[in-house]
Amino acid sequence: MRTMAIGSRALMDGFALLGIETHADIDVGELESLLSDLVRRKERALIYLQSDLANSDLPILHSLRNEGGLILISEVPDILSADHYQAPVEQLISRVLGRDVMGENT
């Protein structure tokens, strides 16, 4: 299984130090090509994807998220937004179970 991180150069430097395969400063077209290649080769992968790329309107990205399968995508914030970032799964849990469950007492 491949473990990959995709995002800005500054963020990728940290992932590279952990020994994770990185793809820095790629555009949406390159992301689409990379994901398509993984699907075509039927590779298993865990992908840490920077939030701006994760929010792009790519059909293959929507397909991977909705269908599941061999590729798991985890969204990570860019370095400047890390303090104020809330993962989509945290937002869902807060809406369903209440803000207190996630430690948000305000």
Q: Which residues of the chain have pLDDT under 70?
A: 79-95, 98-106
Structure confidence at residue 78 (pLDDT): 75
Structure confidence at residue 68 (pLDDT): 73
pLDDT, tens digit, 9 for 90 and up, residues 52-73: 999 999 999 999 988 878 999 9
Distance from C-alpha of 43 to C-alpha of 70, rounded to nearest angstrom: 7
Domain 2-79 fold: Rossmann fold (3.40.50)
pTM above the 0.85 mark? no
CB 70 within 8 A of CB 42: yes
Parse the chain into domains and list their residue ranges: 2-79
